């Protein structure tokens, strides 16, 4: 864990030093859980969005995109249930004055027990070698069984109390388990209270309650309230989907872990409208599509796993998360939810407008069911950032730091590097730059020794470095250096564009 913490700290420092992410309002000591994307970060983020949009909208003839406003009519949030139920249980420690999410405190406690179990298993694995059977060991080892039973008991109490909103029971659980504040070490807790996560503000010039509106806590509702507009104007036939990328805002109680949990963040969501009764088939379909999308980036597959929800939200009849192995462990990256007709029926009720679809094949009208895929863009960014960060020892004993981004997501695609600042090399280099920059973000760099320039590009993850040397003037060839293998290949200048295109094309 310690190693992972150190690595995470290094990644955060690196992303500031190399222009990926800055703390918001840094000169005023920052704003907690709010971040700015810097010159390289913004490119990486844009490329992730594009990669998602292409896979969801461009590649699916029955999915279209929209871009709805952040502000919505306040009744939307009554209908969606956010005004009544978008709460987290919070608890304050009276000594440190620090506020926590009560459920997270208990979950962290369970994770500690889980950690002990894993330690025992790792030890046994070492001892028994190839003969080790983990399943059998879990089922028979007394200490592990005892610990697992404890986790199961705590989990049952926690989730049933959350479900029934018995906040007193959660407080008792925290006390019974003897959970202490990580800061003060004390057990001096306030009562557990509900805290609504929506930000509110006033619309118009008069500030009274009737003008109160909210910053959207998810992009999905913009899609629900527009689904009939899109269906009619786009002549969409069920099943069809609507996709959207946009900002969402949540006043998170525990805002930590860098861009994992932010108060202002971006979501990439797709709502897929289907016939009632067919939703579970489509749920399975989208689970598979989405995990394949992640795997297509070439990141090691054991970084991903599904976590099927046992405890379902009131609107869902199936839900699964794609979890990613972040530096702080496996955590939710994307959610796939079968939301039934909950949202559309609620909007129909609150707005008094019919939101039914006439199915020409069935010859009848119904409120469609919805399967959604919802991924946090910033979390996706973090997953890419953390797996790409690589410290490498080279054969000559030196070290290099390289961001091994999937080339298609890399902020800068190619660096154009004239070996020297004279002899006509810069002019030649500029010609190549001019040719590539219409289609790709490139960086021209003629300062410092070439080795140093390569390192700079490694640190921001540029997949290809094109070096123009004296031979280039004689025979119109250059070298292309591959970021990961560091191999250099001599190629004709006239072929550079095609080579880069082939390396970066989705089709290829
Ligand atoms: P969590 O349990 O981590 O709070 P959630 O279950 O509330 O997440 P959803 O409401 O399902 O999340 O939102 C869909 C996606 O939006 C999540 O999978 C996550 O990637 C992203 N997301 C949610 N909250 C945040 C946040 N505060 N900061 C960054 N991304 C977020």
Q: Give the pLDDT confidence of 441-454 residue by residue, as tens digits.
A: 999 999 999 999 99
Q: How does residue 88 score in pLDDT terms, banded at 50, 70 and 90? A: confident
Query: Average pLDDT of 200-213?
Result: 80
For ligand 1, atom 23: residue with the closest CA:
376
For ligand 1, atom 14: residue with the closest CA:
374
Query: Average pLDDT of 174-191?
Result: 94
* pLDDT surpassing 80 at residue 314: no
How remote is the CA of residue 378 from the centroid of ligand 1, in Å? 10
Task: For residues 290 and 239, give the distance between their C-alpha atoms in angstroms, rounded to a whole number.
Answer: 17
By mean pLDDT, which of 37-41, 96-100, 212-216, 495-499 is the weakest? 96-100
Q: How does residue 205 score in pLDDT terms, banded at 50, 70 and 90? A: confident
Task: For residues 334 and 320, give the distance between their C-alpha atoms in angstroms, rounded to a whole number.
Answer: 9
Q: Whose CA is closest to 371, among 292, 307, 306, 276? A: 276
Element (H, E) at 136: helix 134-140
Whether 343 is in the pocket of ligand 1, judged by its Cβ within 6 Å, is no
Ligand 1 atom nearest 255 alpha carbon: 27
Query: Average pLDDT of 153-178?
Result: 92
* pLDDT surpassing 90 at residue 489: yes
For ligand 1, atom 2: residue with the closest CA:
332
pLDDT attached to residue 63: 98
Residue-wise pLDDT tens digits, 335-356: 999 999 999 999 999 999 999 9
Whether 375 is in the pocket of ligand 1, judged by its Cβ within 6 Å, is yes
Average per-residue pLDDT for the chain: 94
pLDDT attached to residue 508: 67
Whether 339 is in the pocket of ligand 1, judged by its Cβ within 6 Å, is no
How remote is the CA of residue 370 from the centroid of ligand 1, in Å? 19
pLDDT attached to residue 315: 80
Residue 40: other Cβ atoms inside 10 A: 23
pTM of the model: 0.87
* pLDDT surpassing 90 at residue 222: yes
Whether 290 is in the pocket of ligand 1, judged by its Cβ within 6 Å, is no
pLDDT attached to residue 390: 97
Give the CATH class of 42-70+215-385: alpha beta
DSSP 430-448: HHHHHHHTTTS-EEE--SS
Instruction: Return the top range by mean pLDDT from 203-212, 287-296, 305-314.
Output: 287-296
Long-range contact set of residues 13-18: C-beta below 8 Å, sequence gap at least 24: 14/389, 14/401, 14/459, 15/41, 15/385, 18/459, 18/460
Decide: 370 and 357 in contact? Cβ < 8 Å.
no
Whether 265 is in the pocket of ligand 1, judged by its Cβ within 6 Å, is yes
- Asked if the bond preceding 239 is cis, omega within 30° of 0, the reply is yes
- Bridge partners (DSSP) listed for residue 318: 338
For ligand 1, atom 10: residue with the closest CA:
218
pLDDT attached to residue 87: 85
**396-504 CATH pick, 3.40.50.800, 3.20.20.20, 3.90.1150.10, 1.10.8.80:** 3.40.50.800
Residues of the chain with CATH 3.40.50.800: 396-504
Query: Average pLDDT of 34-61?
Result: 98
Whether 252 is in the pocket of ligand 1, judged by its Cβ within 6 Å, is yes
* pLDDT surpassing 60 at residue 1: no
By mean pLDDT, which of 106-115, 220-229, 306-315, 446-455 is the weakest? 306-315
Decide: 170 and 156 in contact? Cβ < 8 Å.
no
pLDDT attached to residue 311: 77
Residues of the chain with CATH 3.30.930.10: 42-70+215-385
- Bridge partners (DSSP) listed for residue 113: none
Whether 374 is in the pocket of ligand 1, judged by its Cβ within 6 Å, is yes
For ligand 1, atom 22: residue with the closest CA:
376
Decide: 109 and 136 in contact? Cβ < 8 Å.
no
Residues with Cβ within 8 Å of 290's Cβ and at least 6 positions away in sequence, in order, are 322, 334, 336, 373, 375
- 163 versus 461: which is more confidently predicted? 461
Element (H, E) at 199: none
């Amino acid at each position: 864990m310690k190693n992972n913490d150190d690595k995470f700290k290094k990644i955060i420092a690196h992303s500031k030093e190399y222009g990926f992410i800055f703390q918001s309002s840094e000169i005023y000591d920052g704003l907690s859980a709010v971040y700015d994307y810097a010159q390289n970060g913004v490119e990486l983020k844009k490329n992730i969005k594009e990669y998602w949009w292409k896979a969801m909208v461009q590649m699916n003839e029955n999915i279209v995109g929209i871009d709805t406003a952040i502000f919505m009519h306040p009744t939307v949030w009554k209908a969606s249930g956010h005004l009544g139920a978008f709460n987290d249980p919070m608890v304050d420690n009276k000594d440190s004055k620090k506020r926590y999410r009560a459920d997270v405190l208990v979950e962290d406690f369970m994770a500690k027990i889980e950690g002990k179990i894993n330690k025992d298993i790792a030890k046994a694995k070492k001892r028994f070698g190839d003969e080790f059977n983990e399943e059998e060991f879990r089922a028979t080892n007394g200490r592990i069984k005892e610990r697992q039973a404890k986790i199961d008991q705590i989990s049952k109490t926690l989730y049933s109390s959350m479900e029934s909103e018995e906040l007193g029971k959660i407080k008792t659980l925290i006390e019974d388990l003897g959970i202490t504040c990580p800061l003060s070490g004390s057990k001096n807790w306030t009562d557990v209270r509900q805290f609504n996560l929506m930000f509110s503000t006033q619309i118009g010039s008069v500030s009274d309650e009737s003008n109160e509106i909210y910053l959207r806590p998810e992009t999905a509702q913009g899609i629900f309230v527009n689904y009939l507009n899109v269906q009619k104007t786009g002549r969409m036939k069920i099943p069809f989907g609507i996709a959207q990328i946009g900002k969402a805002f949540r006043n998170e109680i525990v805002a930590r872990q860098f861009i994992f949990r932010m108060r202002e963040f971006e979501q990439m969501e797709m709502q897929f409208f289907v016939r009632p009764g067919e939703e579970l088939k489509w749920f399975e379909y989208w689970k598979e599509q989405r995990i394949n999308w992640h795997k297509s980036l070439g990141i090691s597959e054991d970084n991903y796993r599904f976590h099927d929800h046992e405890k379902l939200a009131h609107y869902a009849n199936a839900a699964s998360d794609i979890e990613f192995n972040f530096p702080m462990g496996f955590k939710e990256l994307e959610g796939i939810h079968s939301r039934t007709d909950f949202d559309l029926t609620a909007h129909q009720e609150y707005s008094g407008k019919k939101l039914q679809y006439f199915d020409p094949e069935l010859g009848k009208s119904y409120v469609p069911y919805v399967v959604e895929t919802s991924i946090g863009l910033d979390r996706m960014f973090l997953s890419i950032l953390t797996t790409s960060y690589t410290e490498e020892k080279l054969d000559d004993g030196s070290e290099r730091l390289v961001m091994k981004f999937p080339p298609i997501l890399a902020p800068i695609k190619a660096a154009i590097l004239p070996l020297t600042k004279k002899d006509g090399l810069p002019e030649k280099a500029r010609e190549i730059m001019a040719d590539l920059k219409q289609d790709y973000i490139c960086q021209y760099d003629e300062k410092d020794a070439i080795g140093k320039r390569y390192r700079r590009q490694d640190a921001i993850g540029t997949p290809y470095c094109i070096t123009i040397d004296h031979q280039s003037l004689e025979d119109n060839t250059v070298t292309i250096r591959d970021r990961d293998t560091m191999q250099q290949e001599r190629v004709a200048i006239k072929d550079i564009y095609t080579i880069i295109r082939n390396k970066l094309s989705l089709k290829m």
